[in-house]
Amino acid sequence: MPNVLRLAVVDPNDKTREDLKAMLLGLDVVWLEAECSRYEFFPDVVTQTHPDIGVVSLDSDPERGIELLNTIRSTTPDCALLVVSSSTSGQLILQSMRAGAKEFLTLPLSGGDLSAALHRIGEQKFGASDSRNRNCEVIVVAGATGGVGATSVAVNMGCMLASREGNSVALMDLDLAVGDADVFLDSIPDYTLADVTQNIARLDFTLLKRSLTKHSSGLYLLPRPVELQDMSIINGDSIEKVITLLKASFTHLVIDLSKTYSEVDMAAMQMAAKIILVTQLDVPCLRNVVRLLLSFEQYEGLKEKVHVVVNRAGLESGPISIRKARETIGCDIYAQLPNDYRTMVEVRNNGVPLFEQDPKAAITLAMLGLVERLSGSSKETQEEESGEAVAVTESSGWLNFWPRGGKQKKS
C-alpha cells in the first residue's frame, strides 16, 4: 500500500465541502489534514499543517479563490494546488493554472477523476507511486517467546527516538490481549486501537491525533483494546490502513507485536523496514528463533529485515555463549542488552523510560547504542574476545540531548 497524500480543503459552502470531504475520506491514498470554511484563513491552515495538496473550491467566490491560489503559491510553494469548480469556463481554468493550480476538476466529481488527479500530483511531487516515501521508518519489535523483554525494548526505543530533535514517533501496541505498553508509560489512554479501527472509514488527521496519548518524552501511544471482545474488529486490512496513516504523520513508527504471530502481526511485519527479534540465551528461545526465521522465509523479503537482539546478556542462568547462539540460529547477533533486573523493575514500576530513570546505567547505554545503530548514526566497532562478538558504541552524541540529571532512583 502506498503512502497517503496529506490534504487540506477550503470551501465556504458547507454542503459541497462535506460532499468533497466524504469522497476524499473514501480514498485509501488520502489523509485529510484540515478543512477550512474561509478563504482568508486557509493560508494559515496550510502553513500550520504542511499538506501535500491544497484543495480549493472556487464556486463561492471565484475571484477571491484565484487570489488565494496566488497567495499559496508564493507563501507555500511546496503545497500542490488542486482546484474544483462547477464552472467549465475556459477563462477560469486558465486563470487557475496561471495562479499555480496543478489540476482543475469539474463538480460534481467522480471518484475516478479525483483519484487520477491525486495520482498525477503525487507522481509530480514524489516520483513514481511506489517511491512516495516521507522517510517514516517502521520498526517492529517481536519476541522469540513471552517474557523476553520485547515490550521494554519497544517502549524505550520509542521514547529515545521521540526525545531526539526533529523526530516525531508513535508506538502501537499490537499485543491485543495483554499488551502493557501503557503501563510502561504510566498512562491511562482515552482511546485505543479498537476506537481507531472502528472509525477507519472517516479517519483523518484530527481524529487520529485525538486517539493517541502523548508521553512526556514526546512519544505518541496507540494502545491495545481495553475489552477482549474488541480484538475481533482488528484485522490485517485495518492494521495496514492505520499503519499507512501513521506513516504519513510521523518520522518513526515502533510496533510492539504479540507473541502469537497472528494475521495482524504478520501484516505489520510486512510493512516494516526493520524487525527486531528479541531473544535470550537459552534453548527454548533460540529454538523459537530458528522456527520463526524458517517461517519468515515463506514471505518475500521478510527474513532479510530481521535483526536478532539478545536481551539480558550475562544472565548467570544462561550458559549458552554468543558464538554458540550464532551457530544455532544461523545468523549474526545484531546487538546485546545487558541483564539489569533492578533498573528494569524500577523503570516498569515508576512508569518512566530508561534515560529518565538511570541515564548512566549499562542497560540505558546499550539501548542507546541499539537505537543509534538502527538510525544509522552509531560509531560502532566489533571486537573479538574469546571468540565472542562484543558491540562497542559511542553514545555521547545522543547523551547530549538527554536531561542531564534524570530521575533519581527510588530506594
Q: Which domains does the chain have, with CATH numbers?
A: 5-126 (3.40.50.2300), 137-375 (3.40.50.300)
Q: In what order do the strands lie in the sheet with 169-173?
A: 213-214, 220-222, 169-173, 252-256, 137-143, 274-279, 306-313, 335-338
How many residues are recorded in the chain? Answer: 411
Entry pTM: 0.70
pLDDT, one tens digit per residue, over 36-95 is: 999 999 999 999 888 899 999 999 999 999 999 999 999 999 999 999 999 999 999 999
| Nearest CA among 97, 52, 29, 6 for reference residue 240 | 29
Is residue 35 within a helix (H) or strand (E), and if so which, with residue range? strand 30-36
Quickly state the pLDDT bin for 127 (edges 50, 70, 90). low
What is the biggest distance separating any 2 CA atoms in the chain, rounded to whole angstroms? 80
pLDDT reading at 307 higher than 50: yes
| pLDDT-wise least confident of 29-33, 167-171, 331-335 | 29-33
Quickly state the pLDDT bin for 375 (edges 50, 70, 90). confident
- How high is the pLDDT of residue 30? 79
Report, as an integer, the average pLDDT of 209-236: 91
Q: What share of the chain has pLDDT > 70, as a percent?
A: 85
pLDDT, one tens digit per residue, over 287-304 is: 999 999 999 999 999 999
Q: How far apart are CA 288 and CA 308, in angstroms?
A: 12
Quickly state the pLDDT bin for 318 (edges 50, 70, 90). low
pLDDT reading at 409 higher than 60: no
Interacting residues of 284 by C-beta distance below 8 A, sequence separation 6+: 145
pLDDT, one tens digit per residue, over 3-44 is: 578 899 999 999 999 998 888 877 767 788 889 999 999 999
Average pLDDT over the chain, rounded to an integer? 85
Classify residue 161 as exposed, middle or buried by CB count within 10 Å of its CB (0-12, 13-18, 19+).
buried
| Greater pLDDT, 387 or 253 | 253
- How high is the pLDDT of residue 210? 77
Supply angle C-alpha 86, 46, 27, rounded to 5.
55
pLDDT reading at 135 higher than 70: no
Report, as an integer, the average pLDDT of 321-347: 92
